Structure 1
């Protein structure tokens, strides 16, 4: 990304976050970024496209990392771990972008909104696919519904944007480790737990006789 384009992008992030998408005019972005209207329109066709680029930056990153994990790791647990870890890191790398996304995503217009929805759907489908593969391989608990499990993972990680602080007690790497640990322990098939559950069920039915 060129220096001027990046400057315009960063300036607009600050302005949108402070005043909202509709509270900021192109003239304000131009003035605050120290460029001209010609400079702005050289890089962005419109303010709508600028908002799309803000959304697309972090969604593309998350999708590329998830795709890489699926292509480069063989086992479903390792794939899920890497998808979760890279997903969590998005909230550190693209924190200003995500703040604007959650505040202003409803203002995306066609065809930009369609492009973003396609990428979000593709990312969601990767998580569903990994969960399904884990069930089929016997690594994940067979009783888990794929879509509900996938949506639970998405919801859990997505909420990070509400509380994560770069200067917080835990680094983003540590937080990513914690999320991966919690999620994997929730979905992994544990033979010890299965034996315990089977024993308890047998005891229950024995008492019923």
Structure 2
């Protein structure tokens, strides 16, 4: 039942928005009582936090698997992380939209854990860039912190507009972004 509550909430939060979705809406969709909801979650905010936390923890776990692959270059790692993120945004569209759009509805005292994991995701990007600079794969005068933020800005907003049914596949978009990051757009 906990998973059903989560899945129903994902759909409702995505369709109606977090604030516009009530606990009553969730339980009505499931045909259960509010008591059932409260057995698993103490509040709607706790449910939102669980959704956001699961999404970012899963991303960091897969990102770190890519980073720790000993045979890959930093360029390959960068490609694979960008691909993984875009693919997740496409496959887990509801979770991605809720994470990026609704996280602001979690009170400051409850969001610190999510912010720490989100920061780790950025620092992992930064580490790949720093390692690539150190081994000569990337320009020595690159700014890994600023570049990591820029990459996140480019990729994260894909939740808003990207669809694999459009003109590009996830792989094509990944290559476009990676080429843009590594070479810019100047001929």
Class of the TM-score when normalised by the shorter of the 2 chains: 0.7 to 0.9
Whose radius of gyration is greater, 1 or 2?
1
Say which SS state the counterpart of residue 101 (structure 1) adopts.
Answer: helix
Tell me by how many angstroms 1:123 deviates.
0.4
Q: Give the structure 2 partner of residue 170 of structure 1.
A: 168
1:36, 1:166 → 2: CA distance?
38
Instruction: Tell me if 1:180 matches 2:183.
Output: no
Tell me by how many angstroms 1:185 deviates.
4.0
2:36, 2:178 → 1: CA distance?
43
Q: Give the structure 2 partner of residue 53 of structure 1.
A: 50
Tell me by how many angstroms 1:168 deviates.
2.3
When structure 1 is superposed on structure 2, of 4-13 and 126-135 the one drifting more is 4-13
CA pair 12-181 structure 1, distance change in 2 beyond 3 A: same
Instruction: Tell me if 1:104 matches 2:102.
Output: yes
Q: Give the structure 2 partner of residue 6 of structure 1.
A: 3
Q: Give the structure 2 partner of residue 20 of structure 1.
A: 17
Contact kept, 8 Å, 1:131 with 1:140, in 2: the verdict is: yes
State which of 146, 149, 152 in structure 1 corresponds to 2:147. 149
2:67, 2:162 → 1: CA distance?
27
Kindly report which structure 2 residues correspond to 1:23-38, keeping only aligned pairs within 5 A, or say none: 23-38=20-35
Say which SS state the counterpart of residue 145 (structure 2) adopts.
Answer: helix
2:77, 2:45 → 1: CA distance?
35
Contact kept, 8 Å, 1:128 with 1:147, in 2: the verdict is: yes
When structure 1 is superposed on structure 2, of 132-141 and 168-177 the one drifting more is 168-177
Q: Give the structure 2 partner of residue 135 of structure 1.
A: 133
2:11, 2:115 → 1: CA distance?
24
CA pair 93-112 structure 1, distance change in 2 beyond 3 A: farther
CA RMSD of aligned residues (A): 1.9
Contact kept, 8 Å, 1:58 with 1:90, in 2: the verdict is: no
2:178, 2:2 → 1: CA distance?
35
Tell me by how many angstroms 1:111 deviates.
4.5
More helix by share: 1
1:73, 1:177 → 2: CA distance?
22
Instruction: Tell me if 1:78 matches 2:76.
Output: yes
